[in-house]
Amino acid sequence: MSDVEKISFRQATEKDIDILLSTIIEADKSGSGLFSFDTCFGISEDRFREILKEILLEDIGGQEWNISDFILVTVNEIPAGAFCSWIEGSGNQSSSMIRGTLMQHFFPQEALQQAKKYKHLLDELSIEKVPGHLILESGYITPEFRSRGLLGKLIVEILRIRKAQHPDLKICSINVLKSNSQALRIYEKIGFITEVERTCENPEILKLIASKSRVQMRRSLDNLNQ
């Protein structure tokens, strides 16, 4: 590594698809070894990567499986991480509805049927994304670039970019598993506070995802320089 690191930010393009695939997959694992599309849908990580690549290339915004809504952080022009953001419901459809439509089109039918067995557990942890909020989803920094504060810097830059594009934006929200304590600390450090929490008391949930609790954290988009 160079003694002087140049940290930059830019919108993702198709050439960044590999790091976007890794970002979405690793964000789903949330620092654990559990990959929900394997545990819930029976789709291996390699197969999911193939399916997700097809979805990303469709570049349908308003949810986390697209290219254009990702912002990358680079170090000396090398991609170091990424985060997705969008305004919930801006196209008159919720992100869950858009993603559900993509899953119906691209996922194997047997995988969709298998996931239905776990819907009642996952629904207990579901936290609705608020229409009009700026949503952050699927953030990741590659291992070689960690311990530099890049995730926090990336989030702050995204907030500034989106606020400049949409001055009327008031609130940013992010849903995160409560077990991901490192991410929680980073979000708290840059002004996010927990507003909603959901817990599933059925121990079977821990066979599917890494935590029995999920929180929604929010931050005002006023006074971003403070």
pLDDT in tens, 166-214: 999 999 999 999 999 999 999 999 999 999 999 999 999 999 999 999 9
Domain assignment present for residue 1? The answer is: no
Predicted local distance difference test score (pLDDT) of residue 1: 46
Decide: pTM greater than 0.85: yes
In order, the DSSP letters of 46-90 are: HHHHHHHHHHHHH---SSSS-STTEEEEEETTEEEEEEEEEETTT
Structural domain boundaries enclosing 175: 7-220
Domain assignment present for residue 28? The answer is: yes
Q: Stretch 101-118: mean pLDDT, rounded?
A: 97
Hey, what are 196's tokens? 């909603």
Domain assignment present for residue 226? The answer is: no
Predicted local distance difference test score (pLDDT) of residue 4: 79
The CATH number of the domain holding residue 21 is 3.40.630.30
Domain assignment present for residue 194? The answer is: yes
Structural domain count, the chain: 1
- Mean pLDDT, the chain, whole residue set: 95
